[in-house]
Structure 1
Amino acid sequence: MRTRLRQLRIDDRTFVWSAKIRHVSGSGDCHRCIRLRVWAAGKTSRALQADLLSVTWGSPWGACATDTAYPTSADVRAVIDYALLHGWQPEEQGGTFVLSEQEHAVDFALPEFLLTDRLRTPESADPTTRVIRADEARSIT
């Protein structure tokens, strides 16, 4: 299966992005996770990567079975804007700038997503508690 690349124009710059649906296990459930990758200056430029954990919770069949969360263009723009302010230099050649949970989760979240390290590092923090807290906070507002 081919990866669908989408374009997003911000000011005078065009970004290309892809999002792949994945899943991560937690103590209470399986959670939908989207691996977002963004490029600005071609395939050899420094990529941006963010693993976005869906905050949907409460399905009787498990969140993985029924969760349909997927990043919008506005979500992708928020990720790009944040990354540019926090050190991503897309014009540099090679490598990947990762928005990690460990370094960035305190300052960055989207309405439907949290950052997670669980895809890259399976022994990283269990996502279930964070998902439940985020879902409860959404319910209150």
Structure 2
Amino acid sequence: MPRPRLRRLRIGPREFVWRADIRWTRAGLDWQRAVRVRVWGGGKTGRVLQADLIPAAPPGPWGAGVTDTAYPTPADVRALVDHALAGGWRPELRGGTFLLSGLAAGFALPGFVLAGRPVA
């Protein structure tokens, strides 16, 4: 499987680099698709932002993960970055991961639910 592509996002004078990759998690007796978004804003040694998104679409007739094709847009990633910055993410700090799952309450993103804990 190829590595996810790095994408660029400019917010004001700042440039962020992000990628999203598909993961699978158990949802009861079914498997559910999840998208892990990772964002760097302080270079490759800066603190990375991590958010796990669960598509909000209802499960199809063959299960939750089979028919789902949701993928975050740059506007979705911008909303994640804005929420993380407001919640205390400092991308210029060296090393570590800022998990957005701790700030899931009260956050809304059309088409996705922010997982309340990291997806394995």
Same fold (TM over 0.5): yes
Match of 2:35 in 1: 34
Structure 2, unaligned stretches of length 5 or more? none
Q: TM-score, normalised by structure 1?
A: 0.79
Q: C-alpha deviations, 1:57-109, integer Å up to 9, x for none? A: 13011121110000001100000000000000000000000011xx3222112
Query: In structure 1, what is the Cα distance between the partners aligned to 2:31 and 2:69?
Result: 13
Question: Residue 64 of structure 1 aligns to a residue in which SS?
Answer: coil
- Aligned residue number for residue 17 of structure 1: 18
For 2:68 and 2:9, locate their aligned partners in 1 and report how far apart those are by CA, in whole Å: 25
Is the partner of 2:15 in helix, strand or coil?
Answer: strand
1:1-141 matches, cutoff 5 A = 1-27=2-28, 29-100=30-101, 103-116=102-115, 117=117, 119-120=119-120
Whole-Å Cα distance in 2 between the matches of residues 2 and 96 of structure 1?
A: 20
**Number of equivalent positions:** 118
More helix by share: 1
Distance 2:118 2:86 in 1: 24
- Post-superposition Cα deviations, 1:101-137, rounded to whole Å, max 9, x if no partner, equal xx322211211111112514xxxxxxxxxxxxxxxxx
Query: Of the two, which has the highest radius of gyration?
Result: 1
- Give, as a single letter, the amino acid of the residue that structure 2 aligns with 1:85: A
TM-score by length of 2: 0.92
Q: Percent identity?
A: 55
Distance 1:51 1:35 in 2: 4
CA RMSD of aligned residues (A): 1.2
